[in-house]
């Protein structure tokens, strides 16, 4: 199956931050291994003039998702800390204005890039119809961003070669992928893009 990128396509790069990489506060195994592939997608979209949106987890210090504050996660992606920065090798086009911060108020968490952000407005403004979603983590923010987008009426493509999961249970990523596909997402790899 080939997918031809058109003017109404956008790339959404989910949470490619240091804390989700090996050595980070909430590491995703091999999270760093998808950086080169994600960079290929970023190049492809930006060279065609298509927008690329980078989401980031952007929590206050005492965020409710953290252990000790009512949540299950170790403290991660705290605003303005090293761990909240994007991976050093992630290609962020110098003219890119699309950084979407989420989970940035203490009492709300957001696994979806659409939750409590202006992402939907930005996509609407550009007339975007199809979203291509990859990044971290398959079983949390990728899953919820994709499903959020599908629920808003976007056609969704899941970048199978540019996602990695936390897998608290070993099959969490597999289940998340099945769920996204069952809700209408199409799984592709970079070879499918023409
Ligand atoms: C995420 C767990 C907690 C993610 C964010 O980006 O998938 N996972 N916060
Ligand atoms: Zn988080």
102 given a catalytic annotation: yes
Length of the chain: 194
Any idea where the domains of the chain sit in the sequence?
A: 9-192
Q: Is the pTM of this model over 0.95?
A: yes
77 given a catalytic annotation: no
Categorize the per-residue pLDDT at 67 as very low, low, confident or very high, splitting at 50, 70 and 90.
very high
Q: From the CB of 54, is ligand 1 less than 6 Å away?
A: no
Give the residues across from 134 on adjacent strands. Answer: 13
Which among 95, 99, 92, 98 has a CA at the least distance from the CA of 43? Answer: 92
Query: In CATH terms, is domain 9-192 a member of 1.10.3720.10?
Result: no
In angstroms, rounded to a whole number, what is the distance separating the alpha carbons of residues 127 and 194?
A: 21
15 given a catalytic annotation: yes
Q: From the CB of 57, is ligand 1 less than 6 Å away?
A: yes
Q: From the CB of 139, is ligand 1 less than 6 Å away?
A: no
Note every long-range contact of 27-30, with CB atoms under 8 Å and residues 24 or more positions apart, other chains counting. 28/136, 28/137, 28/164, 28/165, 28/166, 29/164, 29/167, 30/164
Task: Write the DSSP symbol of residue 74.
Answer: P
| Mean pLDDT (whole number) for 45-72 | 97
pLDDT digits (tens, 9 = 90+) for 93-140: 888 789 999 999 999 999 999 999 999 999 999 999 999 999 999 999
Find the 117 Cα to ligand 2 centroid distance in Å.
15
């Amino acid at each position: 199956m080939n997918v031809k990128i058109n003017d109404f396509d956008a790339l959404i790069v989910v949470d490619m931050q240091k804390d989700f990489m090996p050595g980070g506060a909430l590491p995703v195994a091999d999270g760093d291994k998808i950086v080169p592939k994600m960079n290929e997608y970023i190049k492809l979209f930006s060279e065609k003039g298509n927008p690329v949106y980078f989401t980031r987890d952007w929590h206050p210090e005492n965020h409710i998702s953290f252990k000790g504050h009512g949540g299950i996660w170790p403290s991660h992606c705290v605003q303005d800390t090293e761990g909240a920065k994007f991976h050093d090798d992630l290609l962020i086009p110098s003219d890119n204005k699309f950084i979407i911060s989420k989970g940035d108020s203490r009492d709300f968490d957001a696994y979806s890039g659409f939750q409590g952000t202006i992402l939907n407005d930005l996509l609407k403004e550009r007339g975007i119809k199809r979203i291509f979603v990859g990044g971290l983590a398959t079983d949390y923010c990728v899953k919820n961003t994709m499903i959020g987008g599908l629920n808003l009426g976007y056609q969704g493509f899941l970048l199978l070669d540019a996602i990695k999961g936390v897998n608290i249970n070993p099959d969490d990523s597999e289940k998340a992928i099945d769920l996204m596909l069952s809700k209408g997402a199409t799984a592709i790899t970079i070879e499918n893009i023409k």
